[in-house]
Homo-oligomer: A and B are copies of this chain.
Amino acid sequence: MDNSRPNPTGKLAALSRQRLGDQIADALRNQILLGELQPGSNIPERETASALGVSRTPLREALVILEGEGLVSMSPARSPRVSNPSLENLTHLLYVQSALEALAGECACDQMTEQEFKHIEGLNLTLQAMSENADPIDFFTADMAFHEAIVAATKNAPLIKTHKQYNARLWRVRFMSSRKRIKRVSTLDDHSEIVEGLRTRNKQKTSAVLSRHLRTAIDNITSIFDEENQAN
């Protein structure tokens, strides 16, 4: 966060083109997704600001941004907290994400270039190669990259942004869910079907498989919650 040192171009860094608030939001978002900031944990303003070497003003700006994204909740006169969504809430998020990816699949059939298709196909191959031995985190990241690439191929900026935000809110449970390697086979089957749908530019099929794929995830996260409740 230190803006006073010279940047690579030699210039004095001056005022970065990106506001501090945005950079801080990026940093905090990462910490939340990585689990360094646990759901329900407090984000005290002074402490966090000084830890990042900034004042409370841009930190609060970041918190307001993250609140808008649903990753942080702010109550009056209380420390901001990392959101801790209920199973119901996560289910609701997945329904929306399912609809968004179904739309993405459909639009991608129209808008996707051949190069983009090859990229998506390649990501799926990578995923298949990883299926046997890769770390959960790597497999999960690759899985997410596959879905993001499809959405990106639509060139629909609002869709891409909204999808990204929903992904962030779902990141944690979906990662926990993906640790159950048992699910990898059916995941890969779905992905192959999606790739086939895209190859033939079959909107109906691509859209339907993506929708089903995401709705299946609802069952997976439900079992995650059940296990946690049994443990307690």
Contacts and interface: CB of A to CB of B under 8 A. Distances in A.
Interface stretch (A30-38, A46-54, A154-162): A154-162
Given A65-B68, A89-B157, A96 B162 contact: yes
Chain A: interface secondary structure?
helix
Contact of A96 (B19, B95, B103): B103
Interface in A134-163: 156-159, 162
Given A21-B64, A96-B159, A96-B162, 14 more contacts: A15-B76, A16-B76, A17-B76, A60-B61, A61-B64, A64-B64, A65-B68, A95-B107, A96-B100, A96-B103, A96-B156, A98-B103, A99-B99, A99-B103
A70 interface: yes
Given A65-B68, A69-B68, A158 B19 contact: no
A39 to B, nearest CB: 16
Interface residues of A, number: 35
A68 to B, nearest CB: 4
A118 to B, nearest CB: 24
A169 B156 CA distance: 15
Interface string A1-32: 00000000000000111110100000000000
Contact of A159 (B61, B69, B95, B103): B95
